[in-house]
Amino acid sequence: MTDLTTRRPDASRRPSVPDTGGDDLIPLLQQAAAGEVEAFAELYDRTSKVCFGLAMRVVRDESAAEEITRDAYLHLWTHSVRYDPAEGSPMAWIAGLVHRRAVEHARFRMPPSNGVAAEDQAGAASPVDARECLELAYFEGRTWSEVARAEHIDPVAAAVQIRDGLREL
């Protein structure tokens, strides 16, 4: 029997996307839903580095990322029966669990904005990139209005940039 409490993703390596389209994770997820510890351990081994990397990118704190990843996998263990292959790949579902927790953590710990925009270092407004807006929203857990303040653009424009960035994915 594998002890999952002692496993810890290696923070020194940059996470990479698993070499899987996700279809081979479906049986593992189904077996984990049936209570098979070994299947869950293999699922953890194959996906946790990416999930830990995602949490690290959002919260930028190793201990918080470990806690978020651990919490997401605990939820996965107890709620894996809810996974529906028709709604997406297992990796996307698992990453979504981690991402939601990381964003919630980041928003809870984010200092309130005073509404004062920082000056552009070049002295002129730079063109806004959909990728920049999407990264602020996805990886830093900011709302579209916070993205607008950070990028010095209209809130509607920020929402459009985020939408366009998601469409490009």
Burial of 13-44, coded b for 16+ CB within 10 Å and e otherwise, reads eebeeeeeebeebeebbbbbbeeeeebbbbbb
HSE of 164 in the Cβ direction (CA atoms, 13 Å)?
12
Residues 112-165: tens digit of each pLDDT = 444 444 333 333 334 567 788 888 888 888 887 888 888 888 777 787 777 777
Topology annotation, domain 4-109: Rna Polymerase Sigma Factor; Chain: A (1.10.1740)
The three-state secondary structure class of 137 is: helix
Domain boundaries, the chain: 4-109, 130-168
This prediction has a pTM of 0.57
When comparing pLDDT for 168 and 37, which is higher?
37
Residue 97 has pLDDT above 70, yes or no: yes
The three-state secondary structure class of 118 is: coil
Residues 60-71: tens digit of each pLDDT = 899 999 999 999
C-alpha to C-alpha distance for 59 and 65, rounded to whole angstroms = 7
C-alpha to C-alpha distance for 143 and 122, rounded to whole angstroms = 26
